[in-house]
Each structure stands twice: as C-alpha cells, then as structure tokens.
C-alpha cells in the first residue's frame, strides 16, 4: 500500500488481487505499480527500503512463503516495468 500511495499518477494507484483454483492448485496473484527501484535479495524477496525495518520483507512475505511451503506451494516475486507481482501457489488436498 505504501508504494501505491507514493505514485504521482492517480490512475496507477491500484492493487490487483486474483485468486484462482484449477483442480487442486490454488494461485493468488497480487500486483501493483511502483516507482523507483526494488532490489531482490538472494532468497528472492525484496530488500526493504525502510531503515527501521531492516530484515523485514514488505507485509510478511517471508511468512507468506513459509505458509505456502507448508501447503506444498511456494511464493514467487517479480519486478518488471514498474509492476511488482507476488504469486502464491498452494496445493489443496483432494476431497
């Protein structure tokens, strides 16, 4: 939310969330525009730009990744052309 609030262009102040299920696979994609630079660490998570939060990854992306892995899934983060995307994949058990 902080990245979107800082955008100069009001039309880009958007956060998109798409949740889909195909068979036993659930995907959650969250996308938003940003300005400036985002650098990813070796673990694939973004490096925080907030000095007081060194070691934290946005809104708990490390926790999101840990939960996804618990459910046989994962988290992927992408930064391209001013768009930040976090994709979570979860594997549901057959009912």
Contacts of 17 (CB under 8 A, 6+ apart): 28, 29, 30
| CB count in 10 Å sphere of residue 76 | 13
Q: Which of 2-11, 46-55, 77-86 is most confident?
A: 77-86
Length of the chain: 95
When pLDDT is averaged across residues 80-94 and rounded to a whole number, the result is: 91
Confidence of residue 88 (pLDDT cuts 50, 70, 90): very high
For the chain, domain boundaries: 2-91
Confidence of residue 42 (pLDDT cuts 50, 70, 90): confident
Main-chain dihedrals φ then ψ at residue 5, nearest 5 degrees: -65, -25
When pLDDT is averaged across residues 33-59 and rounded to a whole number, the result is: 70
Question: Is residue 34 a contact partner of residue 48, using CB atoms and an 8 Å limit?
Answer: no
Q: From 3.40.50.700, 3.30.565.10, 3.20.20.70, 3.50.50.60, which CATH number describes the 2-91 domain?
A: 3.30.565.10
Whole-model pTM: value is 0.78
């Amino acid at each position: 939310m902080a990245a979107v609030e800082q955008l100069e262009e009001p039309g880009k102040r958007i956060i998109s969330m798409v949740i889909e299920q195909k068979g036993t696979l659930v995907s959650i994609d969250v996308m938003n525009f940003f300005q400036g630079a985002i650098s990813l660490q070796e673990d694939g998570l973004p490096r925080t730009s907030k000095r007081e939060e060194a070691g934290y990854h946005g809104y708990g992306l490390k926790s999101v990744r840990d939960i996804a892995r618990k459910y046989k899934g994962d988290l992927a983060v992408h930064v391209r052309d001013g768009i930040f995307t976090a994709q979570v994949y979860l594997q549901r058990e057959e009912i």
